Amino acid sequence: MVTVRKDHPVLEDGNVNIDAWMGQFSHLIDDSARVPLRMACELARQAELQCARPSFWGAQASTFRAGLEMVEILSGFRADQDSLVAAALYRVVREDQLPLSRVTDMFGRKVSSLIEGVIRMGEVSKNLTADTAAEVLGSHDNQLESLRKMLVSIIDDVRVVLIKLAERACAIKEAKFQDEDRRVAVALEVQSVYAPLAHRLGIGHIKWELEDLSFRYLYPSDYKRIASWLDEKRLDRQQYIDDVISVLDERLKSINIHADLMGRAKHIYSIWRKMKRKNIGFDEVYDVRAVRILVDEPMQCYGVLGTVHTLWRPIPQEFDDYISNPKSNGYQSLHTAVVGPQGRVFEIQIRTHKMHEDAELGVCAHWKYKGTDLSSSSTSYEEKLQWLRTILDFHEVQGDLESLSEQVRSDIEQDRIYVFTPDGHVVDLPVNSTPVDFAYRVHTEIGHRCRGAKVNGKIITLVTQLKTGDKVEILTTKEGGPSRDWLHPTLGYVHTSRARANIQNWFRKEDREKNLEAGKQLLDKQLKRLGIDDSRIDFQKIASRFSFSSASDVFVSLGAGDIQLAKVLRVIDDLYNLDGDVAPARPIRLKKSRHKSSDNDIHILGVGKLLTQMAKCCTPIPGDDIVGYITQGRGVSVHRQDCINIVQLGLDEPERIVNVNWGEELDNQYPVNIQVEAYDRTGLLNDITSLLANEKVNLLSMNTLSAKENHMATIRFTIEVGELGILSKLLHRINQLPNVSNVFREKDF
């Protein structure tokens, strides 16, 4: 529900009694903050009196009193001195009633910087009007640019966001004095931008108020209808909750658990959302009747839960354990719904006092203001806010504005990871991002020159997925550019569109001859690694599949990164399947059993069904160019076409050679021989076997030869894979291991 504030205490002359007002929340602010805060409030009052120009909000709004209300809200956040002073002065500075230079002279640059940051965030509201209500965060250039500035300002100092949240809470209350268009514009801004930010920072204390007030103006009839339902049943609901609390309190005391129990207010906007989401009526919203239980220790939460479930029958699908699995904003609590007395369903939330404080104050609950620098340059401060979000700065990358708007919207709502630069700054990235994504997020040139990375002081591979709290250092070279392998989707180097776009732009700027040669080398290397003879491939056919006029265009586009290597390989497979030579790679279900040929694995052209078996000399797998040899009594032996043995058999007994191709049902694992050449070091075998285990690849055999004179090792092993795509990815991953010089598929050991 909406909070209704009391009037400020006044003197006999009608002016606000600042000392009495500060006394109402003096226990929430430091003694050292009282004198500068009083000075700031008096300065704001004098500035308003001396300025004849009315506030933007009209005669009903006072810039001075708005500042007082912002201070009250921030004191509940346990804000520091600079934040309180900045809040008191923000409105008079914004309305040009007080020059910012005066603030700097009297209170220092830190305070004026906070005010400047809040003003920058306020620029968004100029573009969010009733005319853009249908678009919420539309695709207008100015609107997106302002939104970007607002979100990026979080990086500089999170206190800017808190002051702005307090100011918007005041603004949405003042909106009742404005015309309808202005009310809707403010409500739209609050609902679409500031309420999600409050949620992301975990500040439930202000999130609910922002949501309810904005909902009141955006959907007035729905708001009034739900408010009326709540009011009609308020007394009955309160008596029911009191009875439940009495039963719970008695039972918990009997098992020596000290707990604070209270009814929990259900907010109108959340009721409306639940009704819409679940398509249910008001009477079916369980948590309209709700109880909150606060205990001292986390383990007591589960003891209380067991007690609740012995008293009343739980509804399994309504149980959530946010203690073991916290929400992305840090929220922790146990939620359960039970069938209580009189057959009525109600909700119970169980948490510790500390969890409750965190839920109400969010990020603010983690701050220790005394002697702490709250700017982004303070590493200790950043470490307390590992998960603090920042938003991608899109101004360097061109793209479709509509998709850009959607991306910004999703950044507010979706889960992210938060990692540190070496100097302690926070970088926000999507889940699954790698060091390459991080490098391009920091700066395009750092991404281009990236050659390695350290996470928490240890060297890692560039395909390692980062986690929240990691400290990432990028190792760069003075010259050079990105690797074309980074664009290969199955290799896992990049997961963000920003990194991919910058890599593609870099290769696009390279001259045609370089891209032509690079594309040829890239494809040739991959075909050789997979054991495919490129002399049998007509690249002109491949060019036509991509609507290119020549094979050279394929290589150029491949070298520039405009088309992916995986797509070219799929087209090769597809084309040659049509000709009856090579079947396309298909996804398979990994199994640990050895392969046993079935009737559906291999199709023998011009011959009825015969027993087939994979030749052990060359171990073909789906996607290989294959041929059959009719044995004496053992059916057809299937070989790769470049197998030395089948070439000789073809010369000696050509009448036994039959054309075969892969069948439709490829649900088997096939043995493949791999050879690795590497510097012989401690842990090499462990690295290889760990990689195979992580990729869920079955290892059939392995042997190692070591040359003491040059410390080089040759490792041969046999694995089971289902198709060429998986093998290609695996070979690349092995080649990325430290000290590995070469890895390839062998025809026979």
Q: In the 3-class helix/strand/coil scheme, how is 405-456 assigned residue by residue?
A: HHHHHHHHHCCEEEEECCCCCEEEEECCCCHHHHHHHHCHHHHHCEEEEEEC
Categorize the per-residue pLDDT at 293 as very low, low, confident or very high, splitting at 50, 70 and 90.
Answer: very high
* Helix orientation angle between 158-174 and 180-189, rounded to the nearest 10 degrees: 150
More confident residue, 511 or 193: 193
- Strand, coil or helix: what is 259? coil
Q: What is the pLDDT of residue 401?
A: 35
Identify the top-confidence range among 98-107, 268-277, 546-555, 561-570. 98-107
Q: What is the pLDDT of residue 379?
A: 41
More confident residue, 89 or 157: 89
User: Are 38 and 18 a contacting pair, CB within 8 Å?
Assistant: yes
Lowest mean pLDDT among 105-119, 445-459, 653-667: 653-667
Categorize the per-residue pLDDT at 372 as very low, low, confident or very high, splitting at 50, 70 and 90.
Answer: very low
DSSP state of 628: E
Q: What is the pLDDT of residue 648?
A: 76
pLDDT digits (tens, 9 = 90+) for 180-225: 888 888 888 888 778 877 876 767 778 888 988 999 998 888 888 8
DSSP state of 322: T
Q: What is the pLDDT of residue 104?
A: 94
pLDDT digits (tens, 9 = 90+) for 223-258: 888 888 777 566 777 788 889 999 999 999 998 999
pLDDT at 519 exceeding the cut of 80: yes
Q: What average pLDDT does the structure give for the chain?
A: 76
DSSP state of 547: T
Lowest mean pLDDT among 346-350, 361-365, 430-434, 687-691: 361-365
More confident residue, 137 or 677: 677
Q: What is the pLDDT of residue 361?
A: 66
pLDDT digits (tens, 9 = 90+) for 13-40: 778 888 888 888 888 788 888 899 999 9
User: CATH topology of 18-218 equal to that of 671-746?
Assistant: no
Task: Return left, alpha or beta for 457; rule: phi > 0 is left, psi -120 to 50 is alpha, else beta.
Answer: left
Nearest to 623 by CA among 699, 717, 554, 532: 532
Q: Which residues contact 283 (CB under 8 A, 6 or more apart)?
A: none
Please count the CA atoms within 13 angstroms of the CA of 109 that sit on its side-chain side.
1
For residue 696, which phi and psi values (nearest 5 degrees)?
60, 45
Q: What is the pLDDT of residue 454?
A: 93
Q: Which residues contact 62 (CB under 8 A, 6 or more apart)?
A: 48, 55
- Provide the 10 A C-beta neighbour count for residue 541: 15
Beta bridge partners of residue 460, listed in sequence order: 453
Q: Is the dihedral of CA 436, 559, 501, 541 positive or negative?
A: negative
- Provide the 10 A C-beta neighbour count for residue 500: 19
Distance CA 60, CA 26 (A): 28
Lowest mean pLDDT among 234-243, 411-420, 579-588, 692-701: 579-588
pLDDT at 435 exceeding the cut of 90: yes
One-letter amino acid for residue 94 of the chain: R
One-letter amino acid for residue 439 of the chain: A
- Provide the 10 A C-beta neighbour count for residue 362: 24
Q: What is the pLDDT of residue 102?
A: 94
Q: What is the pLDDT of residue 129?
A: 40
User: CATH homologous superfamily for 415-507?
Assistant: Beta-grasp domain (3.10.20.30)
More confident residue, 309 or 329: 309
pLDDT digits (tens, 9 = 90+) for 49-83: 887 555 554 445 688 999 999 999 988 878 889 99
Q: What is the pLDDT of residue 705?
A: 87
Cα-Cα-Cα-Cα dihedral of 494, 496, 499, 504, to 10°? 80
Residue ranges covered by each domain of the chain: 18-218, 228-362, 415-507, 510-578, 602-662, 671-746
Compute the 3-state secondary structure of the chain and give helix, strand, coil in percent, each to the nearest 5. Answer: 50, 15, 35
Q: What is the pLDDT of residue 447?
A: 93
User: Are 419 and 449 a contacting pair, CB within 8 Å?
Assistant: no
pLDDT at 170 exceeding the cut of 70: yes
User: Are 427 and 439 a contacting pair, CB within 8 Å?
Assistant: no
Share of the chain above pLDDT 90, in %: 18
> In this structure, which topology does domain 228-362 adopt according to CATH?
Beta Polymerase; domain 2 (3.30.460)
User: Are 656 and 630 a contacting pair, CB within 8 Å?
Assistant: yes
Please count the CA atoms within 13 angstroms of the CA of 45 that sit on its side-chain side.
13
Helix and strand counts by DSSP (H, E) for the chain: 28, 21
Q: CA geometry: angle at 393 spanning 389 and 394, to 5°? A: 135
Question: Does domain 18-218 match CATH 1.10.3210.10?
Answer: yes
Q: What is the pLDDT of residue 94?
A: 92
Collect contacts of 683-687 with beta carbons under 8 A, ≥24 apart.
684/713, 684/715, 684/737, 684/739, 685/715, 687/737, 687/738
Please count the CA atoms within 13 angstroms of the CA of 539 that sit on its side-chain side.
16
- Provide the 10 A C-beta neighbour count for residue 6: 6
Distance CA 322, CA 305 (A): 13
Distance CA 678, CA 375 (A): 48
Lowest mean pLDDT among 107-121, 167-181, 182-196, 309-323: 182-196
Identify the top-confidence range among 76-80, 87-91, 506-510. 87-91
Q: How far is C-alpha 541 from the chain's CA centre?
A: 41
Scanning the structure block, which residue is given the tokens 């109600």? 346
Residue count of the chain, please give it: 749
Nearest to 84 by CA among 68, 103, 100: 68
Identify the top-confidence range among 145-159, 355-369, 494-508. 494-508
Distance CA 498, CA 672 (A): 37
Categorize the per-residue pLDDT at 747 as very low, low, confident or very high, splitting at 50, 70 and 90.
Answer: low
Categorize the per-residue pLDDT at 673 as very low, low, confident or very high, splitting at 50, 70 and 90.
Answer: confident
Nearest to 620 by CA among 600, 595, 656: 595
One-letter amino acid for residue 482 of the chain: P
CATH for the stretch 671-746: 3.30.70.260
- Provide the 10 A C-beta neighbour count for residue 634: 11
Taking CA atoms, 418 is separated from 147, 386, 431, in Å, by 20, 6, 9
